[in-house]
Structure 1
Amino acid sequence: MTGNRLSKEELLEKATDILGENGPDALTIDRLCRSLNVTKGSFYHHFKGRDGFIKDLMDYWLEEFTLKIINISEEETNPEKSRDKMIMEALMMKSGPEKAIRAWGRDNPIVASYVERADTIRLDYLQEVFMPYENDPTRRKAIALTAYTTFLGSMFIYPELPRKEHMLMIEYVSRAFGVPIPTTGENNETTGRN
């Protein structure tokens, strides 16, 4: 090992990759350091033990896989363009970390609290997104839940679903609830999920 010091973000990014590719049991301090060719001292320079690392990793995941997508979509002032941007960003999200973190959350209370927080933030935001199309809060929540669970379900069942098929699913959900159909482009590339 070279003894290089990497930034905290570089360590968290690599940890997210390991987690997404191999699951939580594979995410050890030793494996993370070996994969980046750094010493454990580099790890402990940034993190206060395993629990501190898990908390920082979950903060990173929440920021990169939830808040960043919301912030990017909010750059648009037009509600439909904002929704479309959110959809495209979500479709480009890697599914491996999401699946691994949700599985990990069944056994780890720290991770479980972050999954619950992410779900709450995402669902609250989706309800805002659907506000221009539905005034009834109960119905708006149902639309948000349907859209979100469809998204998560497709991530688990078919992570390499071609974008065109994803857009078809989104179109059906939109039509079912009388929401305008997103215009995010129709190419046959697969999503960024893996």
Structure 2
Amino acid sequence: MAVTSPAPRRFRQTDWLALGLTALAEQGPSGLTIEALCRRAGKTKGSFYAHFPAIEAYLAALAGHWRETHTLRLMQEVDKGGAAQDRLIALDRMALSLDMRAEQGMRRLAQLDAGVATICAEVDRERVGYLEKLHGESGRFTPEEALALARVEYAAFIGFQQLDLGLSQDDLHECYATFMRLVAPPSFRGRP
């Protein structure tokens, strides 16, 4: 009896999107050509076109995938329960565990593609709104203060990702965590 190897696994749309986030993190927008993606996947252009009619459709789907995996899923996980303080701490931990290079790459891509720029702007509003909600639920801030703190916190988060301070990713995470300990009231520092 002849030995046959298993059929190669079909590359799904979600595989192309996960591959794209990795390529974006490692190479920036230049890694998102159809040729580069197919080479990275070990697939043909036909496989790519079976899921996306053009690169523009792929970039829009990629931005939507980034929004889902780097924003909406975190919010859903945090919303599973707990006091506002605990949810803020959990959100910070999850956000800081994401690959910052994907965020950096998506923002560079937004400079080149208007559709991606629109999604990035929507994500920014969603993230600030979610932080505002959590700070408001804490009962420690007026609505105006909750919004101001959310804006400052988010600006610091994005700033730490975008600036080249000559620090390792771990150092950037520690610097951001220190910033949050300094601006958050003592009860929000995760200590009794």
- Is 1:48 aligned with 2:53? yes
Match of 1:101 in 2: 106
CA RMSD, 1 decimal: 2.0
Q: Give unmatched runs, 5+ long, in structure 2.
A: 1-6
Letter in 1 for 2:154: Y
TM-score where L is the length of structure 2: 0.86
TM-score where L is the length of structure 1: 0.85
Displacement after TM superposition at 1:4 (Å): 5.6
Letter in 2 for 1:181: F
Q: Partners of 2:119 and 2:93 in 1: how far apart?
A: 23
Identity across aligned pairs (percent)?
Answer: 23
Q: Partners of 1:77 and 1:121 in 2: how far apart?
A: 21
Check whether the contact 1:83–1:182 (CA below 8 A) recurs between aligned residues: no
Larger Rg, first or second structure (1 or 2): 2
Check whether the contact 1:105–1:115 (CA below 8 A) recurs between aligned residues: yes
Q: Report Cα offsets for 1:3-29 as digits up to 9, x if no partner.
A: 863111111111111111111122111
Displacement after TM superposition at 1:50 (Å): 1.2
Q: Partners of 1:68 and 1:144 in 2: how far apart?
A: 19
Q: Number of residues paired by the alignment?
A: 180
Q: Report Cα offsets for 1:103-138 as digits up to 9, x if no partner.
A: 221221101101100001000000001012444222
1:151 is aligned, of 145, 153, 157, to 157
Q: Report Cα offsets for 1:65-106 as digits up to 9, x if no partner.
A: 110111111112322211111110001011111111112212
Match of 2:132 in 1: 127
Q: Give unmatched runs, 5+ long, in structure 1.
A: 185-194
- Is 1:34 aligned with 2:44? no
Name segments (4+ residues, structure 1) moved above 3 Å: 161-166
